[in-house]
Amino acid sequence: MADNNMSVSTAIAGKKAVYKGRKLRIAIIGCGGIAQAHMAAFKNIDNAEVVAGCDIVQDRLDLMNEKWGIPKEALFRDGTQKPWRAMFKAMKGKIDAVDVCTPNGVHAPAVIDACNAGLHAMTEKPMAMTVKECKDMVAAAKKNKVKLSVGFQRRYQHNSENLAKMRAEGFFGDVMLVKVRACRRRGIPNWGVFGQKDKQGGGPLIDIGVHIIESAMAFLGNPKPVYASAGCWTFLGNKPSTVMSMWPGWDHKTYTVEDFACGQIRFDNGTIMQIEASFADHQKEHDVEDWWAYGTKAGCQWSTSEIYTDQNNMMVNMQPVFMPDSGWDYIFTKKLQNWVDGCLKGTPLGASGEIGLNVQKILCGLYDSAKAGHEVKIAD
């Protein structure tokens, strides 16, 4: 008789086989909030194991031991701002790769040191603070023949993959315009260093805008950006506020990033990308993360997978009646699985260092244009 407590999917799948192959031995650099999401995802990946970690804050290392079972002797905090160096020395021959989950300003030095130590690297988004840092990271990975990937998980959503495939097959024709929005009405982070430009490189454009920009870039096939025009404004985050919001009481005294940014990128193939990103503005919606594409044969909305085209002499809108779950657990697992497989099997990376560099050129081009007050050419 069947077990009444067993789900249908479990009954069909049966007992999961125990993985006995090689595992990628990973060390976490920066064990704060985003690292916890990575740790949960690694639990879903059979051919990966986290064996070490480092941070400048002891409480985070304690959590790695207490919650995830990382031995205390494999957790490092040496009193410097680069505790990974002590970890590399102590764990030489015991780790294969690093997963960098630090504030943006630490991505480049941590990744470059890891690559020079012969270790594969994953870094959270954005890839770094500047285009030069990204180039140095790519060069270090190539020189040492290791894999470098960037933590862009939105490209792994089912809607992202399906729409990109349709574009590549010619369904949309030539894509003339993509409109990207990553906007919060009032969502300034009240934790971490998200409001400090010297540590993050920027505000909503580089923090939340980067995800939607990269998803749209994956749809477009990663074209080369050639010109940028943009504006950035700070008008709410640098002041105390009594307006009720989901994250009140942010540190306005150290707030040096933009509240709102908008701009335009022109690509070498003629496509235009229009971008809006905000931590705070006066829009109707509370939280928007989406993009819309306009092609010569069809258009689409990313979040809904809705298609706009002509059929049988009629203008029609089409939308899938079912789409599998693309929640955080799924896309974090998929982005990390892609990197792990790339390191162990040599399979293609979804978001390689070169793709991260191309996205960084967009971000820095927009910031450079906003600072200059006019359109700028994006250098190679």
pLDDT exceeds cutoff 90 at 97:
yes
pLDDT value of position 20: 85
Ranges of beta strands (E only) in the chain are 24-29, 48-54, 75-76, 97-100, 120-124, 148-151, 175-184, 225-233, 260-267, 272-278, 287-295, 298-301, 306-311, 314-318, 376-377
Contacts of 161 (CB under 8 A, 6+ apart): 155
Q: Is 80 helix (H, G, I), strand (E, B) or coil?
A: coil
Confidence grade of residue 78 (pLDDT, cut at 50, 70, 90):
confident
- Geometric angle at alpha carbon 177, from 175 and 179, rounded to 5°: 130
Over residues 227-254, mean pLDDT: 96
The least confident of 13-27, 264-278, 310-324 is 13-27
Residue 115 lies in a domain: no
Tell me phi and psi for residue 124, to 5 degrees.
-65, 165
Evaluate if residue 10 carries a pLDDT over 90. no
CATH number for the domain that contains residue 175: 3.30.360.10
Residue 331 CA to residue 157 CA, distance in Å, equals 6
For the chain, the average pLDDT equals 95
Per the domain annotation, does 146 fall within a domain? no
Per-residue pLDDT reduced to its tens digit, 17-47: 888 899 999 999 999 999 999 999 999 999 9
**Considering only 14-18, 133-137, 314-318, which range has the smallest mean pLDDT?**
14-18
Q: What is the largest CA-CA distance in the chain?
A: 74
pLDDT digits 0-9 by tens, 186-230: 999 999 999 999 999 999 999 999 999 999 999 999 999 999 999
Q: Which domain holds residue 284?
A: 164-325+370-377
* pLDDT one-digit tens code per residue, 279-289: 999 999 999 99
At 147, list the tokens.
Answer: 């894999």
pLDDT band at 16 (very low <50, low <70, confident <90, very high): low
Helix axes 210-220 and 158-168, enclosed angle (nearest 10): 30
Supply 56's token pair.
Answer: 């400048």
CB atoms within 10 A of CB 5: 6
Q: Residue 319 has which token pair?
A: 């939308």
Its pTM stands at 0.93
Residue 3 inside a domain? The answer is no
Residue 4 has pLDDT above 50, yes or no: no
Backbone angles phi, psi at 175, to 5 degrees: -80, 115
> What pLDDT does residue 79 have?
84
Does position 319 have pLDDT exceeding 90, yes or no? yes
223 is a domain residue: yes
Domain-embedded: residue 331: no
Strands 175-184 and 272-278: parallel
35 lies in some domain: no
Per-residue pLDDT, averaged over 106-131, amounts to 98
Q: Is residue 132 part of a domain?
A: no
How far is 22 from 47, CA to CA, in rounded Å?
6
Rounded to whole angstroms, the Cα distance separating 23 from 50 reads 10
Number of domains in the chain: 1
Please write the tens of the pLDDT for every residue from 126-165.
999 999 999 999 999 999 999 999 999 999 999 999 999 9
Is the predicted pLDDT of residue 9 greater than 60, yes or no?
no
For the chain, the distance separating the N- and C-terminal CA atoms, rounded to the nearest angstrom, is 67
Give the mean model confidence (pLDDT) for residues 97-118: 97
Question: Facing residues of 300 across strands?
Answer: 293, 307
Query: What whole-number percentage of the chain has pLDDT above 70?
Result: 96
Q: What is the pLDDT of residue 242?
A: 94
> Per the domain annotation, does 178 fall within a domain?
yes
